Amino acid sequence: MNLILLLPDDGIDGSGRVRLRGRRLRHVLDVHRAAVNDELCVGLLGGGIGIGRVLTLTPEVLEMEVRLDRAPPLPLPLTLILALPRPKVLRRVLRTASSMGVKRIVLLNARRVEKSYWQSPYLEPHAMNEQLLLGLEQARDTMLPEILTRQLFKPFVEDELPGIVRNTLPLVAHPTALAECPRHTDRAVTLAVGPEGGFIPYEVDKLAGCGFTPIRCGERILSTETAVTALLARLF
């Protein structure tokens, strides 16, 4: 937690004071080991970033005087389309993508996505939200990513995807692709990453029909989680 994320209902009052309990209080006590008058990095969810000066710190409550004077870092100009991964991987990918500045993620069905993954409790909004918030706290960001779930591949690709890819560079990660992932692009990107085992040829064809170029990231086959991080680091 490199930034203490303040939520709208923490009730920052007119004097800029905020009171925290629970997880964030414990983290400040146990990890930051802060003391009165220490200054901690804080940010308001959806808002600015700044400093919180500790006024009171007891096992029951943390009270800070907060000054938010900076904008959060710029979002990545990217939509990430992710074939729904295994639930445990999903958690980590959401946290990682959030920490890297991704602001729109589409979780999509694909042939090689196991049906049971769609029943996972990790897909519930509050569970995904938790990972996204952890990513923001890690990265010192305040802007929550948006997540869309789409359980039907074909209608999504035919009806919604053309609007998403408009004015972007559409790329699909595919280990057997011949082209390498572009480096340090100044364009907005729509990046599709398949399931373990990859998109099937029909799916790659459908994406190609929508303008997607298959690309790879070196000659090694990377796990979903590693591939997402590596591709984002190359692209931007």
What gap in Å lies between CA 202 and CA 219, rounded to an integer?
A: 23
Exactly one of 96, 109, 131, 190 binds a second copy (CB under 8 A); that residue is 96
Q: Does 141 bind a second copy (CB under 8 A)?
A: yes
Determine the Cα–Cα distance for residues 104 and 106; give it in Å rounded to an integer.
7
Binding positions for a second copy, 170-229, rule CB under 8 A: 183-184, 217-223, 225-226, 229
We find the least distance from the C-beta atom of residue 215 to a second copy, in angstroms, to be 13
Phi, psi of 156 (to 5 degrees): -60, -50
Of 9-17, 18-26, 55-63, 99-107, the segment contacting a second copy by CB under 8 A is 99-107
One residue of 28, 78, 139, 207 binding a second copy per CB under 8 A: 139
Which one of 86, 91, 103, 140 is in contact with a second copy (CB under 8 A)? 140
CB 109 within 8 A of CB 83: yes
How many residues belong to the site for a second copy (CB under 8 A)?
28
Tokens of 9: 């209902």
90, 48 contact by CB (below 8 A): no
When binding is defined by CB under 8 A, the residue of 12, 25, 83, 99 that contacts a second copy is 99
How many angstroms separate the first and last alpha carbons of the chain? Answer: 24
Tokens of 49: 């970033």
Contacts of 102 (CB under 8 A, 6+ apart): 75, 76, 78, 80, 145, 232
Window contacting a second copy (CB under 8 A); options: 16-24, 55-63, 139-147, 162-170: 139-147
| 18 versus 102: smaller Cβ distance to a second copy | 102
User: Is residue 234 a contact residue for a second copy (CB under 8 A)?
Assistant: yes
Nearer to a second copy, 100 or 106 (CB): 100
Q: Distance between CA atoms of 36 and 123, rounded to whole angstroms?
A: 39
CA distance 72 to 143: 7
At its nearest, how many Å lie between a second copy and the CB of residue 149? 24
Helices 125-139, 87-100: crossing angle, 10 deg rounding: 40
Residue 33 binds to a second copy (criterion: CB under 8 A)? no
Binding site for a second copy (CB under 8 A): 2, 73, 96, 99-101, 138-141, 183-184, 217-223, 225-226, 229-234, 236
